[in-house]
Chain A
Amino acid sequence: SSELTQDPAVSVALGQTVTITCQGDSLRNSYTSWYQQKPGQAPVFVIYGKDNRPSGVPDRFSGSSSGDTASLTITGAQAEDEGVYYCNCRDSSVNDPNWVFGGGTRLTVL
């Protein structure tokens, strides 16, 4: 099966812009969804498809994709954006529908 690779940790100064990346072969054929998980809570999806935000997600969150890499950008990071971010896509390396998650990136807002 396919894998999605994320940097384990990223930090950003309050109010600055940060990009979290996700790399994998399946991303060449599938859009990504992104999830934010805070301690003790279930994940919440923040981006789906090419660059779509569910209602209630601030517009400082955006997504993009190029080749085998998907990116989540937070423009003007806030303290409440701290958490672990996971990417997720459909695994194109197998015939049956399968889905994979990246290992997660822990975001610290300084």
Chain B
Amino acid sequence: QMQLQESGPRLVKPSETLSLTCTVSGGSISSNSYFWGWIRQPPGKGLEWVGSIYYSGSTFYNPSLKSRVTISVDTSKNQFSLKLSSVTAADTALYYCARQYRLLLPNWFDRWGQGTLVTVSS
């Protein structure tokens, strides 16, 4: 059974860069059937797609975050990562990594990590 696990600092200072890694176990990140995505959820609010990556390195970003987001993949470690620069309090959220089926629309997210709460505060 595939599992995804987020890791990274839980507290980030304003204007700095948020960095998270998702480790995939129980399957290969190099599958041609999936994208690998990041979704976030501010406390008490709804889900927001942040971006997705294919194992080849092709990336897709939410237009509202595009100028600050970088998603990368390390197939040798079966991991993918999120960097969000110039963070503010508005970036405080529960960050989920998820597997996204790419071969059929609507490209659903079928496996999720447990999520990690990142707080932006000085």
Which residues of A are interface residues toward B (Cβ below 8 A)? 1, 30-33, 35, 37, 42-45, 48-49, 54, 84, 86, 88-90, 94, 96-104
Contact = CB atoms under 8 A, between A and B. Distances in A.
Interface residues of B, number: 24
Interface stretch (B12-20, B47-55, B71-79, B83-91): B47-55
Contacts of A101: 39, 46-49
A91 to B, nearest CB: 9
Nearest to A42: B112
B43 interface: no
Q: Chain B contact residues: over half helix, strand or loop, or mixed?
A: loop
B49 A98 contact: yes
Given A37-B47, A88-B49, 7 more contacts: A35-B47, A45-B110, A48-B101, A49-B105, A88-B108, A99-B37, A104-B47
B109 A35 contact: yes
Contacts of A32: 106
Given A86-B47, A100-B49, A94 B63 contact: yes
A99 to B, nearest CB: 5
B67 interface: no
Contacts of A98: 49, 60, 62-63
Given A98-B63, A99-B107, A42 B114 contact: yes
